[in-house]
Amino acid sequence: MYVSLRDRPGAGSAPGRGRATRISSTVVLLGIVSMLTDISSESVSSILPLYLTAVVGLSPVAYGFMDGLYQGVSAFVRIAGGYAGDRGGHPKWVAVAGYGASALSRLAMLPAAGFAAITAVVTADRLGKGLRTAPRDALIAEASDPKELGRAYGVHRTLDTIGAAIGPLVAFALLAAVPGSYDSIFVVSFAFAIVGVAVLVLFVPNLKSSAGKARIGLRRMFREISGRRLRKPLVAASVLGLLTVGDGFVYLALQERDDFAATYFPLLYVGTNVAYLLLAVPLGRLADRIGRARVLVAGHGALLTCYLLAALPAGGLGLTLGTLLLLGVFYAATDGVLPALISRLVPAEARGSGIAAAQTAVALTRFASSLMFGVLWTLQGPGMSLVVFAALLAAAIPVAGLLLRGIDRAEVAP
């Protein structure tokens, strides 16, 4: 009934007879869904600080509290989403629920007023994001040739990041056309989101976990994600996550020493995103060729260099751009590569849960890292704190390398 199962590798046809396999249409479709949704969500989140402080009248401190709330909610729901996709055998419909919740939250922004209402709406959006990520990544794994997984995630993340780059531009263009009309942004954002959901519902096939009816129970899921195969990668991802500070801190460090960075502060995110979207596919392919674990670990080497560049007491335009480029390299080498690595380590029926476990571990440890870094920053300033984190990361990278050694070969037979 759905588009076809033709593009599903290993489902009968003989892929990879020497020639490069094509990226599955499912991956491209999911990329388009993510792109539309990211245009929608980034257009809102780029103006949210302005809206909350200028229109609703929250102080920057209250806004900061909300941002913390996002993180917590998102991490918890993520694992539930992964499990729900595995358990029901319908990852697509879990993803639809996630994308749908985010879309509806845009409309709810229209009448929302006051701290509580906006918190609820923003939480619903994050809830949706948490819910959809793991089942969607499981779908990508399901639709792709295992040997080309890095590239498939690279394609998806490129489209996703294009959306993230366009979103703020849409928002600021609208604010220029209809000054002060935040409602216009919410309505346009909703329109993008709803088209994204439509593409997902109408065109993305509901690829079931290949094990078919083998529904896994909670206990089985816990056994899978705490099992021997996942233990080392999860520990490695957590150790690295603990030393990954939010990019906001890097931007703040840059703006303190460089007037260019201060003036064009909102553009720093765009710079990182551009580097990320240009590199996501090449680094994904590299990961397919030389090993995902290797690229993942090397990506943290780029992050380490990025810390050191940002910690330099003085800098100019060149150094700022170099720092952004390295941050983009880091994201391109890790964000899509991690699910590519994990999804081959767990049996297909627990794939969503496995991916979710890894992503949750990364999200939680990065959040903890940002808290620790915030304290350190307050005590001794940005430069010194970055150097401390760079030194710790330099010690952690070899440890992670050891933990992940040989992991690329330890695949579960698909």
By CB under 8 A, the residues from 217 to 246 that bind other proteins are 246
User: Which of 158, 255, 323, 343 lies at the binding interface for other proteins (CB under 8 A)?
Assistant: 255
Q: Which of 6, 65, 212, 231 binds other proteins (CB under 8 A)?
A: 65
CB of 78 to other proteins, least distance (A): 19
Binding mask 263-282 for other proteins (x = CB under 8 A): xxxxx---------------
Minimum Å distance from CB 292 to other proteins?
Answer: 30
Where in 340-369 is the site for other proteins (CB under 8 A)? Answer: 367
For the CB of residue 31, give the shortest distance to other proteins in the complex, in Å. 16
Q: What angle in degrees, to the nearest 10, is found between the helix axes of 247-257 and 351-403?
A: 50
Q: Where is 81: in which H helix or E strand?
A: helix 60-88
Say which amino acid occupies 139. L
CB of 259 to other proteins, least distance (A): 6
Candidates 28, 107, 108, 191: give the one binding other proteins (CB under 8 A). 191
The answer to whether 176 contacts other proteins (rule: CB under 8 A) is yes
Helices 292-311 and 247-257, interaxial angle, to 10°?
A: 30
252 scored as a contact of other proteins (CB under 8 A) = yes
Contacts 24+ apart (CB under 8 A), 268-272: 268/320, 268/324, 269/168, 270/165, 270/168, 271/321, 271/324, 271/325, 271/328, 272/247, 272/324, 272/327, 272/328, 272/331
Nearest CA to 293 out of 240, 245, 353 is that of 240
317 scored as a contact of other proteins (CB under 8 A): no
Residue from the set 124, 203, 206, 388 that interacts with other proteins by CB under 8 A: 203
Distance (Å, whole) CA 168 – CA 165: 7
CB 138 within 8 A of CB 78: no
Instruction: Compute the least distance from the CB of residue 307 to other proteins, in Å.
Output: 16
Q: How far is the CB of 19 from other proteins (least distance, A)?
A: 27
Among 15, 21, 28, 53, contact with other proteins (rule: CB under 8 A) = 53
Q: What count of residues does the chain have? A: 414
**CA dihedral for 10, 14, 18, 23, sign (positive or negative):** negative
Instruction: Residue 259: count other Cβ atoms within 10 Å of its Cβ.
Output: 10
C-alpha 204/C-alpha 218 separation (Å) is 27
Among residues 49, 88, 227, 401, the one that binds other proteins under rule CB under 8 A? 49
Residue from 227, 322, 374, 414 touching other proteins (CB under 8 A): that is 374
CA dihedral defined by 251, 253, 258, 259, rounded to 10 degrees? 60
Which residues bind to other proteins, rule: CB under 8 A?
1, 3, 49, 53, 57-68, 71, 115, 169, 172-174, 176-181, 183-184, 187-188, 190-192, 194-195, 198-199, 202-203, 246, 248-249, 252, 255, 259, 262-267, 367, 370-371, 373-374, 377-382
